[in-house]
Copies of this chain bind each other. A is one copy, B any other.
Amino acid sequence: MYKTTIENLDESEALTVLLIDNPHFDSGVHFGISDDTFLRGEVPMTKAEVRAITMSKLAPKPGDVCYDLGCGTGSLTAELALAAYEGQVFAIDKKEEAIALTKENCRNFYIGNVKTVCGCVPEALLDLTPADVVFVGGSSGQIEEIFNAVFLKNPQARIVVNAISLETLTAAIGAFTCHGIEPEVVQIGVSKARVAGGYHVMIGQNPVYVISGGGHE
């Protein structure tokens, strides 16, 4: 067997079989990517703990088509793409900066199954493959329209909304109810110790509501 690297390949050699070995290969799925692994810029990011709970509510399968609406830094995009490693993730955001960050964060994880879309919801969803799993991190006040667009393409889609405002919380519950689904509503309050002078001072994060429903149940 002849072993070399791409750089040293000599075109004149009689190559019959090319075996490409990815030294960075890892099984598709990761639990617990830490927050500081992601580039962030000025874009808001779902924190690790809320991301973990959100992933558990999304419950993506390897072959699923996923949407990440309001992808921000792309931290959830990356987790979805690694979990749905035989599927496809569409990461959508209206801000160019978010799309750029999402691309860069996915590149850092050697992720190849993400397609980014810079645009507004629900319009940006029109041409996409129907989703199995939809994460709504940012809705721009279009929760109802998003739900209509998603369920029109696939009435069995599973949707998870992260809400930090009471209005989005109410809208998400209302949108599920409109489609005949009683969602699960969970509030997550996380505080994390900051160590200073040998003291562990608990620092509170803002509470997040996770509203989820739909899918094959």
Contact = CB atoms under 8 A, between A and B. Distances in A.
Nearest to A158: B32
A137 B185 CA distance: 23
A31 to B, nearest CB: 5
Nearest to A200: B166
A43 interface: no
Contacts of A199: 165-168
A185 B192 contact: yes
A196 to B, nearest CB: 8
A34 to B, nearest CB: 8
Contacts of A15: none
Nearest to A82: B29
A114 B201 CA distance: 31
Interface in A71-106: 83
Contacts of A142: none
Contact of A202 (B29, B173, B187): B187
Interface stretch (A122-130, A144-152, A204-212): A204-212
Contact of A193 (B185, B198, B201): B185
Contact of A52 (B55, B168, B191): B55
Interface in A16-75: 27-33, 48-49, 51-53, 55-62
A189 interface: yes
A204 B202 contact: no
Contacts of A200: 165-167, 173, 185
A56 B182 CA distance: 28
Contacts of A56: 31-33, 48-49, 51-52, 55
A164 interface: yes
Given A28-B29, A31-B60, 15 more contacts: A49-B53, A49-B186, A49-B188, A53-B53, A164-B201, A165-B201, A166-B166, A166-B169, A166-B193, A166-B199, A170-B170, A173-B200, A188-B189, A189-B191, A202-B207
User: Nearest 9 CB-CB pairs, A to B?
Assistant: A32-B59, A32-B56, A52-B56, A185-B193, A189-B189, A204-B204, A165-B199, A29-B29, A166-B200
